[in-house]
Amino acid sequence: MALVASPALFGQGAETGEALFKRNCAGCHGPDGSGQTAMGVASKLQDLRSADVQKMTDAQLADMIAKGKGKMPTYGARLNPGQIQSVVGYLRELAGEEVGPGGPATYLRKPEIPGSRPPGKADERR
């Protein structure tokens, strides 16, 4: 499996991570990943840009998306691994846009020991 999905390989699956996210995930997580949707608020969805989500590795995120979790649907049968990688890439982009260079979440770029932070700290909204 190619690491970076070549859209041409997948024919009709020629969609960017952003397009895939908007089609498959935004209904619950919101187009910006904030979880500010009817479903998202009702199920208290975490902001996908938050440190708690971003501290997961790409592999963990891909695994979670493929297998689902709680009320989160399983995507392993709907998205191929390349598409899941594209979506994971888009989750990183979302976070990057939110925090910006030198923002409060510079630790997002450094691997950190999970659990060493008080929960919710980095989840401040503007």
Using the rule CB under 6 A, is 65 a contact of ligand HEC? yes
Using the rule CB under 6 A, is 115 a contact of ligand HEC? no
CB of 83 vs ligand HEC, minimal distance in Å:
9
Using the rule CB under 6 A, is 70 a contact of ligand HEC? yes
CB of 104 vs ligand HEC, minimal distance in Å:
20
CB of 126 vs ligand HEC, minimal distance in Å:
21
Residue position matching structure tokens 């041409």: 8
CA atoms within 13 A on the CB side of 37: 18
**For ligand HEC, the closer CB: 23 or 109:** 23
* Residue 69, strand partner residues: 72
Identify the residue among 46, 93, 96, 123 touching ligand HEC (CB under 6 A).
Answer: 46
Residue position matching structure tokens 């949707």: 37
| Other CB atoms within 10 A of residue 24 CB | 18
Residue 85 contacts residue 58 (beta carbons within 8 Å):
yes
Using the rule CB under 6 A, is 108 a contact of ligand HEC? no
